[in-house]
Amino acid sequence: MNKLKFKSIFISDAHLGSKGAQADKLLDFLNKSTAEAIYLVGDIIDGWQLNKKWHWPDSHGKVLDKLIKLSEEGKKVIYVSGNHDDFLRKVGNFSMGGIKFCSEITHRTLKKKKYLVIHGDQYDNIVNHAKWLAILGDVLYNFTLKLNRYLNSIRSFFGYEYFALSAWLKRRIKLAVNFVSDFEKRISEAASKRKMDGVICGHIHHAESRKIGKVDYLNCGDWVESCTALVENINGDMQLVNWSCSKKIKELLENFNTKPRLISPKIAA
């Protein structure tokens, strides 16, 4: 099988260890793709949920096994910690089994652009200044995901593709729209102050690729709702890839290697 060929892959918010994680889809994407470097942009493991109740199906372990195997094959694997896997930050920067762990890193593209790669919770005022509200939000978010699973079981029965309820609400509730906008602005300003060409992040589960001022704001999305990844293609261009439904995957596999194209962030989200 021909694999999708990338220079680099950026994945965030897999939340392995939570019931909302779509590990099977993430594993499928990893198996059908190849890249020199794989960046894990935070919240790959959901320590918050695992501390509450242990949940670790085989599919979650297979994702980690795949990432370890890629590092053993000589691929560059970098794990950038997030707020749900902040237990890694307590250790500091280190390497283990060929995987580099850090809180942030700089990525340089083939086109010589410099990107700050960071999960992004550092620029979330709720996480930093009202953690109780962040925890409450996490509870409500997981309730929405549970409701979404029931909704999609009905949709699947009638032959409809997966629908991300949380992402839909995020785009339509004014408070959520304002939060996303403020987050994007703060993290882009931080990248600009560091003389970066752009920022690659996750955290808010909202895939996006656009200019904010002179900065490229690139959000990987997640593997709970939207199942999206950010990639640097073989020409050095940054793209969002949508792995959420069979139709989009088929189109990508048929067309990507012959004619690389941008998958719209609006579709991806």
Set out the domains of the chain in order of their start, with CATH numbers: 4-268 (3.60.21.10)
pLDDT of the residue at 30: 97
pLDDT of the residue at 171: 57
pLDDT of the residue at 264: 38
Torsion over CA: 30, 33, 38, 40 (sign): negative
pLDDT of the residue at 194: 96
pLDDT of the residue at 229: 97
pLDDT digits (tens, 9 = 90+) for 16-31: 999 889 999 999 999 9
pLDDT of the residue at 70: 96
Under-50 pLDDT residues of the chain? 129-130, 132-133, 136, 174, 177, 260-269
Name the DSSP letter for residue 258.
T
Tell me how far CA of residue 64 lies from CA of 82, 90, 150, 168, in angstroms. Answer: 16, 21, 27, 29
Tell me the three-class secondary structure of 105-149, residue by residue: EEEECCCCCEEEEECCHHHCHHHHHCHHHHHHHHHHHHHHHHHHH
pLDDT of the residue at 260: 43
Q: Please give the order of strands across the beta sheet that includes 238-242.
A: 94-96, 99-102, 76-80, 33-41, 4-11, 228-233, 238-242
Residue type, 69: K
Name the DSSP letter for residue 2.
P
Burial of 173 (0-12, 13-18, 19+ CB in 10 A): exposed
d(CA 109, CA 30) in angstroms, rounded, equals 21
Contact between 163 and 155 (Cβ < 8 Å): yes
